[in-house]
Structure 1
Amino acid sequence: MAGLGMTGPAAVLLVGLSFRSAPVPVLEKASAAATDLAALEHDLLDGDCVTEALVLSTCNRMEFYVATTAFHPALDHVVETVADHAGIPATDLEPYLYVRYADKAAEHMLTVASGLDSMVVGEQQVIGQLRNAYHTADDNGTVGSALHELTQRALRTGKRVHTETEVDVAGSSMVSFALGHAVEELGVPDMTGRRALVVGAGAMASLASTWLGRAGVSHVTVANRTLSRAENLADHARQAGVSASAVPLSGIPGVLQDVDLVVSATGAVGTVITGEDVRAAQTVRPHDMVLVDLSMPRDIDDSVVSEEGSGADRADVNIRLLNIEELTTLAGEGTRDEAAARQVVREELDEYLEQVRVQSVVPTVKALRQRASDVIDDELGQLMRRTPGMTDQERAEVTRTVRRVVDKILHTPTVQVKKLSSAGGSVNYAEALAVLFNLPAGSSAPVSRSVEPGDAGLARIGNMITGEAS
């Protein structure tokens, strides 16, 4: 078995941390900007036992998927690479990590793609994030057949869940969830007559702009480091009938005095809005304001809601900050049609695992047939040397007969090993076949593992093989 002294086919290993397992400061350190993903994925590949790598980075999770032929060294390598990237010791990071391997890694990705592991159960945005993660890794040249097959299956599963069930009726994304709470904090039914500032011009900022338009916002200002991208998003808003304008990031302080709601989703490294920015705006026009920070690392400094930072000491002014940490507390576990969604995940997972198990048998079957062919060639060679009087026609007929007999003998076990392996179970028939015929290593399906945050050091997980994920 892979990682247990036998080199087998590549299996998927996941090392991750999310809003469920880690506090926001740790998530922030482990997060990667889009410009850093290529280097990070290539660093993950910088190990003899890792053959593929893909990083899923969202506002509330960082997951590192690799294909590997050896569980333990791959796990150590991934944890050390992530820790180096985060700039913290591996021992400090380990308590917040969860690990999935083989079947459990596949189940997790399908569950994530379906929105069933999100803050807002059933949210759809993660499908696009996973698709983008795959394209990024593909462009970087770090994905192969194992991660390709798994990612495509996960995307198919997510699409089925959102098409065939109503699990996402309560909220389509983290953006709608966050902005819905922001409007509640403003104490108004919708954004009619209100002004908003959207910081960023990516997918989440675009979703926020669309949501605000539907909520009746009177004007939306888009701020971005690259002004042309902000202008492009503002133009889309205007085409949808929403009054909109664009400013560079340096223009944010001048806009804050006029807006009731701020939503920031830049993916930048460093603070975009400070307490001083808000305090200056409140000095010009004291007013209620809600700021929503959907970025990881955070865009908006916590000081925006402190008395020293924002002017929030005024009794007639209410300033609220909703960041990932706050939203995690607010998010509940959705249950609408969740059972139906999980049934879709089970169906797709079973089909995927059957496909993987059948594929995992192929090297063993090839090795068995190659061993048989070598034996045939050796025996026929000896026969020809002992029977110099045989004609070429007689030799050809003997060769055909011997090969036909061996093929018939091997037909049933090779068909059966594929059939039995596809059915799953605790017996590794491919490995049994390899042992019986003394074949080269490389045929057994990996053991499914799941390790949770708080388990003993991940680098010392060699003796920890658990069954079910929580």
Structure 2
Amino acid sequence: MTIHLLSADHRYQSLDEVARLSRVDNLGPKLMRALPYLRGAVVVRTCNRLAILVDAPSRLASSGQSGSDAARAGSACPGSAVSGSGVAPAVPAVADDVRAVLARCTELPLEQVHLRHLAGHQAHLDLFATAAGLESMVVGEREIAGQLRRAFHAAWEEDTLSCDLGRALEHASRTSRLVATHTGLASSGRSVVAVGLDLATQALQDAKLRPLKEAQVVLVGTGAYAGATVTALRELGATNVRVYSRSERAQLFAQGRGIGWVDEARLAQALDAADLVVTCRGLGSPVLTREIVQRVKTPLVILDLALQRDVEAAVADLAGISYIDLLSVQRAVPQAHGEQVRAAREIVAREVEVFERSLGARSMDPVVRRLRDHVDEVVGEEISRLRPVDGCISADDATRALRHLAARLIHNPTVMARKAGESGQQDAYLEALQLVLGMDASPSDTLTVSNKERNVFTCAL
């Protein structure tokens, strides 16, 4: 099995391009239906990243319809499966297949679907570094750890989480905690939300509005990112926070966090009274349009933390509006301390090595099971040969049974040893014997025989 990581993120693409590629719901199940050779798929979405982890067989296709052919043959979006051979294509074609499915689901031309593709060791490195916050817009931020956990649970619920992907995500999460414990990256307290609120605080001051501790804040959205925003606002002393959501979850969200809430009927009034509006829905359609905002009292600061913008682009041109988006946040991100980053990357490299050793060990599980099954089968046959008397077996019978069992278990290795000698493969056999049984044997070892045995050999000649 090989883990592939296909991603679009702030490091290599514009945030608008990442947003266009992130518009697909239930992408994991759609990939599994479209590409039957996949063992698993996990999709990670953040405010500046789309990462697709897939678990595909390492074996290359040898015949039949390739995965690429299957991916192009029909539509997996919405919901329909693409028939294929179920045989893994060559490694580069895995990326082509995923791109083809994503293009169809987003209704984008294939040439506009750009995904960075890493496989095997490089994919493991990038995943672990991402979990540790080393590839984030704000290096060292801790929000990504929670986003990976949510992606893990979503894949579990959608039944797209393979064993290897699960182990990779769990080990990546442990690595994230190690980096947080043994470096100062996490303690710097930086995150996309924190940087955005720093910019908003300055904008409030520039617009001569109330400082954040006294400001009226309207939060748009009730997802996990909204929860992180409430926490960050509290840490900065904001107390007058109300939440709005079109999904009618605002009241439940607010009650769980001790803040106010706004329904549709009171939204215009809340916006009129607001100094700061923070949006983090990211559902693909703007909730604050130019028409809505131009009726609001100004000045007003709007912080849009959604990758798929919650605020219509034309709002930024309105008089009295200070508009801060993710691109503004990206430009304002502070540089991480070089020594801390180096220490974190050393931890990541070490943990990837540990993970890959464990992955290699796990890859032999089918062999171990087959070996145990074989021994159990032979032992079962030998037990069936025994004839207990009154439920008891004599010492002689037990001895004979054990010797017979040993002879059966050693028979095939003995035959193969002689065949290896006949074909000049002694070294390969001895190496395998050492690897499997830990025995250090050599055909040049001196055999010690008794006088009686020597006489027998002589007579036989």
Distance 2:435 2:234 in 1: 60
* Equivalent position amino acid for 2:432 in 1: P
Find 1:293's aligned residue among 304, 312, 329: 304
Classify 1:123/1:246 alpha carbon distance in 2 versus 1 (closer, same or farther; 3 Å).
same
Find 1:68's aligned residue among 48, 56, 61: 56
* Structure 1 length-normalised TM: 0.71
Find 1:334's aligned residue among 328, 333, 336: 336
Distance 1:24 1:206 in 2: 22
Find 2:432's aligned residue among 413, 428, 431: 413
Q: Which residue number corresponds to residue 243 of structure 2?
A: 222
Q: Which residue number corresponds to residue 6 of structure 1?
A: none
Distance 1:102 1:270 in 2: 37
Does structure 1 retain, via aligned residues, the 8 Å contact 2:192–2:329? no
* Equivalent position amino acid for 2:327 in 1: E
Find 1:45's aligned residue among 26, 29, 32: 32
* Structure 2 length-normalised TM: 0.72
Distance 1:177 1:128 in 2: 18
What is the deviation of 1:103? 1.1
Find 1:57's aligned residue among 45, 55, 60: 45
Does structure 2 retain, via aligned residues, the 8 Å contact 1:223–1:247? yes
Does structure 2 retain, via aligned residues, the 8 Å contact 1:44–1:77? no
Distance 2:128 2:400 in 1: 58
Find 2:184's aligned residue among 158, 161, 166: 166
* Equivalent position amino acid for 2:104 in 1: D
Distance 2:109 2:434 in 1: 50
Aligned pairs, number: 369
Q: Secondary structure at the match of 1:62?
A: strand
Distance 1:271 1:257 in 2: 18
Q: Which residue number corresponds to residue 82 of structure 2?
A: none
Which residues of 2 match residues 346-385 of structure 1 at below 5 A? 346-361=349-364
Does structure 2 retain, via aligned residues, the 8 Å contact 1:198–1:205? yes
Q: Which residue number corresponds to residue 403 of structure 1?
A: 409
Find 1:272's aligned residue among 275, 284, 287: 287
Structure 1, gaps ≥5 residues long: 1-9, 239-243, 375-392, 420-470
Task: Decide which structure has the larger Cα Rg and report it.
Answer: 2
Does structure 2 retain, via aligned residues, the 8 Å contact 1:32–1:57? no
Which residues of 2 match residues 301-340 of structure 1 at below 5 A? 301-306=312-317, 310=318, 312=319, 317=320, 319-335=321-337, 337-340=340-343
Distance 1:52 1:246 in 2: 40
**Structure number with higher relative contact order (C-alpha < 8 Å, ≥ 6 residues apart):** 1
What is the deviation of 1:414? 6.2
Compute the RMSD of aligned alpha carbons: 3.2
Q: Which residue number corresponds to residue 422 of structure 1?
A: none
Distance 2:437 2:9 in 1: 37
Task: Tell which deviates more after alignment, 357-366 or 43-52.
Answer: 357-366
What is the deviation of 1:170? 2.8
Q: Which residue number corresponds to residue 393 of structure 2?
A: none
Distance 1:101 1:179 in 2: 37
Structure 2, gaps ≥5 residues long: 58-87, 378-398, 418-428, 439-461
Q: Which residue number corresponds to residue 79 of structure 2?
A: none
Q: Secondary structure at the match of 2:8?
A: strand
Distance 1:48 1:80 in 2: 14
Q: Which residue number corresponds to residue 180 of structure 1?
A: 198
User: Is the counterpart of residue 128 in structure 1 residue 130 in structure 2?
Assistant: no
What is the deviation of 1:395? 11
Runs of 4+ aligned residues of structure 1 deviating over 4 Å after TM superposition are 361-374, 393-399, 405-412
* Percentage of matched positions with identical amino acids: 26
* Equivalent position amino acid for 1:45 in 2: M
Classify 1:75/1:364 alpha carbon distance in 2 versus 1 (closer, same or farther; 3 Å).
farther
Distance 2:232 2:211 in 1: 11
Residues 96-153 of structure 1 deviation map (CA, whole Å, 9 limit, x = unaligned):
x211101111111111110110011110011111000010000011112111110111
Task: Tell which deviates more after alignment, 128-137 or 169-178.
Answer: 169-178
Q: Which residue number corresponds to residue 230 of structure 2?
A: 209
Classify 1:414/1:295 alpha carbon distance in 2 versus 1 (closer, same or farther; 3 Å).
farther
Find 1:115's aligned residue among 114, 125, 133: 133
Classify 1:115/1:185 alpha carbon distance in 2 versus 1 (closer, same or farther; 3 Å).
same
Classify 1:417/1:125 alpha carbon distance in 2 versus 1 (closer, same or farther; 3 Å).
farther
